[in-house]
Amino acid sequence: MPHSSVTLFYGLWVKTWSLAFAAETYYKTKPVLLAIDLILLRRRKGNLVAEAQDSKTTARDLPEEVWQLVKQELIDEVLWDEELAALKRYRCPTCDRQAGDADRRSDIVSSQGLKSLLWTRWGTPSSCPSCYVTLEAVSPLVWFEHPASCNNVEELLSNFDLHMISSVTWKQEQEPGMWTDFYEQSAIAIPLQALKKCSPGLSDSPVLSINAGLSSDGYDSFSNSKVLSFSPEALRLPSNAELRFRRLVSTYRLQVVDRVKSTITSSSLPPSTTDDSAIGASSQLETKTDEFGKEEPRWMLWSLAQPWD
C-alpha cells in the first residue's frame, strides 16, 4: 500500500557508494586499527612493552602523530582496494586489461590515447561504451542488500556517535546521459531519542510514518494523519556535533552532497528601534539561507512518499 514518512534529523547527505566503501574498509581494518589504538593507550599509560630490536627507534619511541598517519594510510589503501574491486566487477574486459599501472595507483594521472578512455576511477564511466553496456545489465546497483553490509555501516557510524537514519536511499534525477547509480545518496545524522515511539522500528530519529487506509475495492477510503511533539532537550545538539561529521568525512573520504533546495527561516524580523536597523536585519536574514557549506551538517526535514508495493 502507499506509504509516506517525514523525518527530522541533524546531519549530512553522502553518496551511498562512498559510505559502502567506507563501511567495508572499516570492517577489514578494524583489527589492525584496534591494535594501534591499544599500542597508543599503553604508550600513554607508560606500560607499553616493546621487544628488543636492532634499530634504535621502537614502537614505544614513535610519536602518536606517526601512528595516526599510519592508520590513515592504511584506511586510504583499503578504500582504494574497495574502489578497485568495484571497478573490476563492473567495467568491461578491455578496460580491465588496458588499465595496467593505473590499477596499482590511487593517485591516477590521466594519459594520452586509449588510457584517457578507460574507466579507472569509481564514478560515471568516462567514454567507454562497453562499460555502459556492462552497467546497464546489472543496474540498479544495490549497496546495502545484505544485513551484514548495513551492520558494518552502523558499526562504523556508531564509532563517531552517528547513525544512518534509514536504509532507504535517495537517487537524484540527472540529466540524460548521467548515471543515477553514482548519485544515490544516504543520510547520516546525530542520534535522537524519542520518548514515546509513534511507529514500530522508531529508534534514533523522529519519524512520522503513515499508511493510506484502503477500502475493499482497493482504493483509498480515508485520509490519515499523525502529530509528533518535541521537547527542547530533543533538539539540543552535543557540543562536538560538527566535529563528529568532520572526523568521519575526512577519515573515510566520504563524498558529501548538498541536496537541500530551500531553507526554513523565521518570517519575523528581530526587534529594532530604527528602520535602518530593520533593513539591515532583513538583509542579514536573507543571507543566512545560503550560509551553509557543502560539508556542514544542519537540521533537515526529509519527506518520503513510496508508491504501491
What value does the mean pLDDT of the chain take?
75
pLDDT, tens digit (0-9, with 9 covering 90-100), for 18-42: 999 999 999 999 999 999 999 888 8
Whether the CB-CB separation of 206 and 212 falls below 8 Å is answered with: no
What's phi and psi for 299, nearest 5 deg? -75, 135
**Domain membership flag for residue 38:** yes
DSSP-based three-state secondary structure for 138: helix
**Domain membership flag for residue 284:** no
Give residue 173's domain range.
3-49+58-261+293-306
**Domain membership flag for residue 120:** yes
Residue range 261-277: mean pLDDT, rounded:
59
Whether the CB-CB separation of 79 and 22 falls below 8 Å is answered with: yes
Element (H, E) at 165: none
Q: Which three cell numbers stand for residue 124?
A: 560515471
Residue range 272-286: mean pLDDT, rounded:
45
**Domain membership flag for residue 184:** yes
Range ranked top by mean pLDDT from 99-108, 137-146, 239-248: 239-248
**Domain membership flag for residue 90:** yes
Which pLDDT band, with edges at 50, 70 and 90, does 254 fall under?
very high
**Domain membership flag for residue 301:** yes
Does position 277 have pLDDT exceeding 60, yes or no? no
pLDDT, tens digit (0-9, with 9 covering 90-100), for 46-60: 787 776 666 666 667
DSSP state of 197: -
For the chain, the domain total comes to: 1
